[in-house]
A and B are shown apart, each in its own frame.
Chain A
C-alpha cells in the first residue's frame, strides 16, 4: 500500500515537473511535504543541499531519499521508477510524433505558456525555503535568525555579482554559518 502511494506520488512529480532542474521543487513540496508529510521542510532543504553536492537530478534524489526513509531499498526503487515512468511513456510518444510530423508547434506553444507559470511555482517554493532558513518552523519577528539572514543576503549578492558555482556559495555558507552557530553555542 505504502509502495503504491510512493509510486503514485512520484509518478505525479515526474509528470508535472516540466522544464527540468528546479521545476520539480514545487511538485515535490506539494506531494512529499504538504500532502503526505513524508519529509519536513528542513529535511527537504537537506535533500536539496545534498542534491547540489552529488551528481543526479533533484527529483531522482528526492525519490531515493523519501523512498528509503519510508520503505527501505524497495521504497527507493519504486519511488524512482514512479518518477521516470511518465518520462518513458511521453518521451517515446513525442519521439514518434517528432519523427512523423517533424514539427511540434502545439507542444512548443504549450511549453511557451508553461515557462512563466513554472517560474512562479518555483518562486513560491523558494519562499518556503527562505522562510525556513531565516525563521525556522514558525515566522515571527523575534524568531528572526540574523546570522542566516545575513548569509542569505551575502550569498545572493555574491551569486548575482560574480556568478560563481552554487556549490561554492553553499560550502562557504556552511563553513561560515556553521562556525558562527558553533561559537555562539
Chain B
C-alpha cells in the first residue's frame, strides 16, 4: 500500500476520531484501545512500537490521549500524519463541549438542573478526594523519604503559601533530572574504574 496516499490520512483521521469520540474517562483508557486498532486491527504498528509509544506519551507533558495519537500518526505517516491524528483526537471533545456550552447558561438556570448539578458537585468532590487518596497512598507505599518529603513540601508550598504551580513542576523536574544524570555518570565512572 502506498504509505502516503490520501486514503491513508483519511483512515488515520477516522480511526483517531472514533477512538476519541467513544473513550469515556480519557487518559490511560485510550491506549489499550489504540493498541487494538493499530496493532491487532490495521497491523500498522508492531506490539513493541506501541509499548514505546505508551512510554513516551506518559513521559511528555499534556494530555496522554493526544500525545499517544501524535506518536501513532508520526510513526505511520510522518509530521503530516501526526497533524491529522491530533485533529482527529481533539475534534470530538471540541464539538461536544462547544454544543454543551451553548446551552449551558440556559440549562444552568433551570431549577431542577441547578439542584442536580449541586448534588453532583459533592459527587465530583468525592471522586477527586478518592483519586488523591489512592495517588498519595501509592507514594507513601513507595517508602522513599525523598518522594514523601517532596509531596508534603509541595503541598504546604501551594496550599499555604500560594507558590506558583508551574514553578513547583519545574523545580521538581529539574532536580529529578539532575539527580538521575548524576547517578548515571557516577555508575559509569565506577564501571570504568
Which residues of A does B touch, CB under 8 Å? 12, 14-22, 24-27, 29-30, 42, 45-46, 48-61, 64-65, 68-69, 73, 76-77, 80, 83-84, 86-88, 90-92, 94-95, 98, 104-127, 129-130, 132-134, 147-149, 151-156, 159-160, 166-167, 169-182
User: What are 30 A-B contacts with C-beta separation under 8 Å?
Assistant: A14-B62, A17-B62, A19-B58, A46-B117, A55-B22, A55-B26, A56-B96, A57-B26, A58-B26, A59-B62, A64-B97, A65-B100, A68-B101, A69-B101, A76-B94, A87-B70, A91-B62, A92-B70, A95-B75, A104-B59, A105-B184, A106-B177, A107-B59, A113-B177, A116-B150, A124-B158, A159-B130, A171-B123, A175-B116, A177-B122
Chain B 111-145 per-residue mask, 1 if CB under 8 angstroms from chain A, else 0: 11001111111111111111111011001000000
Sorted nearest first, the 4 A-B pairs with minimum C-beta distance are A177-B119, A109-B180, A113-B176, A56-B93
A177 nearest CB across to chain B (Å): 2
Cβ of A65: which chain B residues have Cβ within 8 Å of it?
Answer: 97, 100-101, 104
**Inter-chain contact B122/A20, CB cutoff 8 Å:** no
**Inter-chain contact B166/A16, CB cutoff 8 Å:** yes
CB of B154 within 8 A of chain A?
yes
A48 nearest CB across to chain B (Å): 5
Q: Which residue of B lies closest to A69 (CB)?
A: B101
**Inter-chain contact B129/A156, CB cutoff 8 Å:** yes
Cβ of A166: which chain B residues have Cβ within 8 Å of it?
Answer: 25, 127, 130
**Inter-chain contact B118/A26, CB cutoff 8 Å:** no
**Inter-chain contact A119/B117, CB cutoff 8 Å:** no
A184 nearest CB across to chain B (Å): 9
**Inter-chain contact B180/A155, CB cutoff 8 Å:** no
B46 nearest CB across to chain A (Å): 14
Q: Tell me what chain A mostly uses at the interface: helix, strand, loop, or mixed.
A: helix
**Inter-chain contact A113/B175, CB cutoff 8 Å:** yes
How far apart are the CA atoms of A116 and B133 in the complex, in Å? 12
How far apart are the CA atoms of A182 and B116 in the complex, in Å? 9
**Inter-chain contact A54/B100, CB cutoff 8 Å:** yes
**Inter-chain contact B121/A114, CB cutoff 8 Å:** no
A170 interface neighbour in B52, B64, B124, Cβ under 8 Å: B124
A49 interface neighbour in B70, B111, B121, B132, Cβ under 8 Å: B121
